[in-house]
Structure formats: structure tokens, C-alpha cells
A and B are shown apart, each in its own frame.
Chain A
């Protein structure tokens, strides 16, 4: 008779060898990605060739060494704990290697600034301590945008698609730890083919955007850079003024549409792409996302009208809409000095930054899904206070979430706010202006920072300790809090 394999649920020690081996493989992937800016510098004849050559070689060698040293791993039986640990540590390792070009190359940043820049890139935050990047080489520009592009969909998801040994429940744990959202939809039964399809979709959309931008006023190089940082809703730009430097309504509209797309759950986008239009269209989260954008844009428009802002009719529609989409999708491009439209505009943006777009997208923030879920719960409670006997279902997209989901969402939001308060206070203690401290914390945890000069002056003024703290906050925000914070609990490290 066939017998059940005896389950080894007696938790053993963490499978370090397998962890290091996978890290090694991820470094090889990173080194491969670094070859692209290297090629660009060589073609353009810039003087940053060494920066990328050294960085790429260093990543590749370390990666191979790690893989060689840990070749005798005990199989890839990765559990939940390995998933969390690996995902968090991979993001740190990648940022450490991703910062090398900034230290060796032209800006020649110190380790603090370089790490901050690198983490800001991978987490698609878009905060930068660099003020004069007009002097950057092409390679450096494309590397910054590429970091955002890799981090947007997630390098682990990329690796899961490539590495057959992660096509297992271990890979699934990593996939779940890296991708955003409360629940994780699958589009195919195997995690690797899900990851493959998501990346294919991502690459296709990016290519399409690059083409559209290139057809507009941008040259090929800028188009590719902006396509990568827009699709990942990151917000790095090749110009200190961001996309505003091109003064083209066509460009603004294209960028806006793709920022909007970047904020939609990729599973929904996949349904659109595969012709399940009706199902995709009826996604309640996407609808709430759209409604929020329209409402916020309308509000800003009204504020502008009341304060008598002078600009053309198209700008009256375009500017609020563009800035709203840019903020809610955590991109951070800024257009038309929108903050000067009235004192009430900035608070709206703060709220949008915290809300964020749909789960399962490349964006940061709390995510509309969670807000929608809590909102419906509140609405039910209000109704119930009148009709105490009626039953009101609590569901999103027809899937009802019980009290467990509710408590999970509530815990997330409480932790989110606690982190903001704590970080804001610490930054204030280090001598930062209290308002700036809280705003930059909210922007960093929501991965929303703008790359334009005005905002970034705030970051150049932060102390080194503050930068490390904010870099950590960006990572916590990108990996949706639990993945990182769970590592700080004693329960995680206890063996039973």
C-alpha cells in the first residue's frame, strides 16, 4: 500500500546553504542586468565603463563563489521562514551590489548616499540625494531607471521564472513574500509559469510605452529610461525636472496612462490581455482606484478654480489628473507646480501617498484593496447600528473575507501608521524639520518620492543615520511590512 511520506514538520534549522546559494544565483542575475548599462556606456563612449565593469564582475564573482561554496545544500525545502528571510536579505544584498556603480562611477557617492540611492531605486521610491545629475553618463541614467524596473515587478519573481529549483512550494513562499497584496491570485497552477507570464506582460507593456514615448518628443535613450521608471511607477528621470522638461501634452498623457496601468493589479491586466475583458472590467478594486483618482483630481480642480489659478482649460484638467495618478501610483513625477494651487492640495497628496494603488501592482502605499475592505466594514457597521438584525456581507470581488482577513488588514494598517510615527519622531530628533520628517517618511514607506529637485533638497539635508533609516523604511514599505518585521520577532528565530 502506498504510504504518506512522513511529514517533516518538525521544523529544523533554517536552510542557510540553500539561502546563500539562491542569493548567489540572484547576484548572477543582477550582474547580467548590469551588462546593459555597461554596453550603453561602451556604445556611447562614456567614461563610466569601469564602474559597471567592476560592479558587474564583483556581483558575478560573489554570486559564483556563493553558489560554489554552498553547492551541497540539503535540497530546496524552503518553508515560510526561509521565504521571508530570503526575500528580505535579497533586497539588502542587491542594494549593496547595485550601489557599486554610484560609488565607483561619476557621482562617486559615499556608502550612505549610494546605498540610499540604490535602495530608493530597487524599491521604486525615486528619492535621491543627488542634485546635479545632469553630468551623469548615459550608463548611470539607464542603471538608475533599470533598478526601478527590476524592483518594480520584483527580482525574486524574475528568478522564480528562471530557476527550475524554485518551481516548488519554496519558490511560492518567496513569490508571496515579494509580491504585494493581502491574498495572492495565481494565473497558472505552477508558480514559475505565473512569474513568467507576469514578467512577459511587464516587458511588453514597457516596450510599448518606450515606443510611444519615442514616437513623441523623446529620443530613444530617454524614451527607454522613462518607460522603465514609469512602468515600475518609480519616478527616476534623466532630467532634473522630470517629465515636465519635455513640455508636451502628448507625453504627459502617455506617461499618465501608463502610470495608471502600473497601478492596476497585474493579474487583472493579464485578464485584459488574454481577453477575459468582462472579468477584468468588473474588478472592484480597479474601479475603486479609478474613482479615487477622479474624485481627487476633481477636488484639486475645484481648489484651483476657487483660488483663481491662471492656466489653460486643458491644463486645468491635465495637471490635477496627472499629479493625482502620479502620486497614487507612487511614481512621483510632478507637473505644473500643482502644490501652489492652494493650501489644501498638499494634504490631498499626502492622503493619496498613503492610500496607494491596487495590490499586485508595482506601486507602494497601503493599497486600495485594504482601504476598500476596511471602508466596507465601516459602512456595514454604520448600517448595522440601525438594522441590528440584518446580515451585511463583507466581500471584495465576490470573495467574502472573514474576521481573519479583517484583523490582518487592520494589523497591517496599524503597523504602517506606527512605523510612520516612529520614523518621523526619530528623524525629528536627528534635527530634521518635523513636518519634513513626517512627509519624507510617508513618501519613503509608500515608495512615492518625487525625483524633482524641490523635494529632494529635503533628502540632501538628512543625516547619515536618517538616510539608513529611510532606506530601511523603503524596503519595509516595498515588501509590505510583515515580510521584514517578522524577522525582528523572537518567534521567527525560535526553533519550535
Chain B
């Protein structure tokens, strides 16, 4: 597929690198020649120097043949105009990154459709939604529902005293009531475990479960399901405003903001929240504002370092759930290794969303979730596929993959060695990165 990406900022670069390793034809356009030179020399893609809103530049970047045009410069006006130009040149689909929540309103969508902008991406909104999910299931690292929640993918970080730790997987089945251990992230790398693998303290374990197993799993993992009432937000950024707008009915929110000017404007934007002027890194201030009674602490300032450290401090105060915005992609895995509940990164959220848009266009691949170095794919089994020939345990499947669950006739099932896959099933497959193409053969 031919994809033109305009704007080689962090989102643009991340997308370009990711998509070029997925064997897509990528052309990256930016004004900054130096920024492009490094990518051009090291990645299998083409770059063009020029303004994102110039007809000549876009024509030169073969926008006319593009299946997808993505505008992710820092300026929403430029993105919208670039998309319009691209559409007039012949791009099939266009995506623009925006900064204005109003634009997402369904009433306004036809306006953008008419003007050649097919999809709008608002990273702050995506971040707020992500935080909302995280607050509902405080005990999980990741919660992903497939087929209207028939199958659920849950990631849990296991602590030293959890009863599952130290056991081999083959001995765990009765305890878990059938939940499938699909992948384990251990010290920055992901493994697909077999029956003889042992669960270690500090592992992030990915379980595939059906809804009825959720409570059992939570207890076995030794986790409490805290109901969050009081939230403390550090930094009055756009995400904070969006979040306050979404959540203020159900939660008590305090926003701590250092900048007085920002503080003055905040009450208008989030009327139901308490605004506190001060530095959230100051412990006295936190205590005074009742950090000990807060159930969740969300750090959303510009500085990733401050966010990480503030979350660690909040943990010390006994806050159950901490969420940090980490914009430096390099810091993410470090932050994960520390005890921070959920990490938010606008760039990765935006690129995941674009990835999903891409998949909607490109029906062949059906990957829906990227983990650190593994992929989760939902694959429909074709008639006569190799995978249907025998029971799972007799199939000698490659070691880089495992099947977590399947949806048959609208009902979710967990897969184990005794399962036989039937044509028409929708299976949830975990595999290590770079193996998706090998695995697709099994299902066709």
C-alpha cells in the first residue's frame, strides 16, 4: 500500500518506521531536510523535502497514487489543508491530526468529509479515553475486549507474593479455571510461554479469558479491584481538560497546576473540578490537598521525568492507581519496570489509531494490538486451513505463536490443547514480532 506521511515529528517518524517495517511503501514529507536525512539513510522508505501544504511538494511525493495520506504536523490548520490538497490530487483516504475537540463532533463530520478529510485524529482525546479505561480496571495493565467482550485480553503485573508466582504453567490450569496464559513480558522482552515455563515475580502476564473468569483471575493474581472516587491530576494540560470533561460526573477531581495563568483559565473549561495552584512535586502540598485519600494520581505535565517521579511519590503515599504521561518513547519501558500503573503516550496512541484505520482499509491483515515485541492478531479461519486438521496439541505449531481464544457462533471460548479449530472461527493469535506472515499461512 502506498502511504504518504506529512510531518516528520515524533508521530510521523514513529509511523513511518513502523509501517516501513510492515512492507508498506512510505513517502515521508517534511520541511526540515536534516531531520529527513537521518531517516532517509537508515530506513527503507523515501523522503521528500518541502512544505506540507505545497501542491508541488505533494505532487512530487506521488500523492496522486497514495492509498492513505496522513497529515501529522504540529498544526491542525496545515494538516487539514494538506488533506484537502491531497484529496484534490487523488489520494484515496486522508487522515488529519487535530487539536480541537469540536471537530470530532458527529454533527461536524460531514463538513470535513465534504472537504476531503476522511479521518480525524485527536491524540488528547485518545489519551483521555485510555485513562478512563485504566481507571475502571485498576488492577490491570491492559484490558482489551474482542467481539463485544466475548473474549478479553488482560495484562497483569504479578508481584512477589502472588500465589501464581513460582509455578509452572502446566500446574496452574486448575487455579486459573481455564484462563489461557498467552504471553509474558519479562525484563523488556516478550516470550510465548510453554507448559514448562515458570512464572517469575515482576512478570507482566497476558491472559486470554472469557468474561466469567475475570473475578477468579483477579483474586488469583492477588489484586484488589479498587473503586476509584478521588482523582488527583498533576498538570492542567489539554488531556487533563478532556479527562475532566469526561469524568467529572463520576469522580471527584483535583487538578494541580503550577502556572497561575493556566489556573485562571481552567475553571471555565472544567467547572466541576477543584483547581489547585502549586507544584505537585511538593509533598507538603500533596498532603495538604489530601493525597492520602486519593485513589488515583494522574501526572500529565510536559515533562516525562516529572511525571514518572511524581507517580512514584504518589505510590509512596499509598495511592492505588498511578498513571503517567511519558512522551519520550525511550523512557516507556523504563517507566513500566518501575511501579507505574499505566503509561500514556500521545504519539503511540495516535499511531495505533492510524494503524487501525489502515487495517480497516487493508482487509487482509487483521492485527489489532501491538505489544512490546509481539503482536496480537484476530484471524478468521478459512475452510480447508491447515490449522483445522487436528487437535491443537497434535499440530506441532511454531514456538513463536500461541492461540489464546476463539469466537465461534458469537460465543467466546478459551483454547487449550484439546480444542479443535473449525473453519469460520475467529481466533486470537499471539505471535512474536516479525512472524505474522508465517502464521497467516496456517489459517488460509
Contacts and interface: CB of A to CB of B under 8 A. Distances in A.
Contacts of B416: none
Interface in A230-259: none
Contact of B25 (A1, A75, A189): A189
Contacts of B2: 189
A75 B333 CA distance: 23
Given A167-B23, A399-B49, A3 B332 contact: yes
Contact of B373 (A5, A191, A399): A5
B18 to A, nearest CB: 9
A1 B43 contact: no
A5 B25 contact: no
Nearest to A80: B42
Interface residues of B, number: 44
A172 B355 CA distance: 24
A399 to B, nearest CB: 7
A302 B373 CA distance: 69
Given A5-B433, A6-B189, A399-B49, A176 B333 contact: no
A176 B42 CA distance: 10
Contact of B44 (A3, A5, A168, A399): A168
Contacts of A339: none
A394 to B, nearest CB: 13
A471 to B, nearest CB: 30
A186 interface: yes
Contact of A3 (B20, B34, B372): B372
Interface string A160-173: 00000001110111
A176 B369 contact: no
A188 interface: yes
Contact of A1 (B14, B130, B333): B130
Given A3-B332, A169-B42, A190 B25 contact: yes
Contacts of A167: 23, 44
Contacts of B371: 3
A4 B25 contact: no
A169 B16 CA distance: 13
A188 B345 contact: no
Nearest to B34: A402
Nearest to B336: A3
B104 to A, nearest CB: 20
A172 B44 CA distance: 6
B342 interface: yes
A132 interface: no
Nearest to A75: B434
Nearest to B372: A3
A190 B373 CA distance: 24
A188 B42 contact: no
A52 B274 CA distance: 86
Given A1-B130, A190-B25, A6 B333 contact: yes
Given A1-B130, A6-B189, A189 B40 contact: no
A4 B332 contact: yes
Interface string B392-421: 000000000000000000000000000000
B44 A191 contact: yes
Nearest to B130: A1
Given A6-B188, A6-B372, A1 B344 contact: yes
Q: Which 7 A-B pairs have the closest CB atoms?
A: A2-B352, A189-B46, A189-B25, A186-B46, A4-B329, A2-B370, A2-B348
18 contacts: A1-B343, A1-B348, A1-B349, A2-B349, A3-B333, A3-B372, A4-B329, A4-B333, A5-B433, A7-B330, A169-B20, A183-B37, A186-B46, A189-B2, A189-B26, A189-B46, A399-B33, A400-B33
Given A6-B372, A6-B373, 8 more contacts: A1-B345, A1-B349, A2-B352, A169-B20, A169-B42, A188-B25, A189-B26, A400-B33
Interface of B: 2, 14, 20-21, 23, 25-27, 33-34, 37, 40-46, 49, 130, 142, 188-189, 329-330, 332-333, 336, 342-345, 348-349, 351-352, 355, 369-373, 433-434
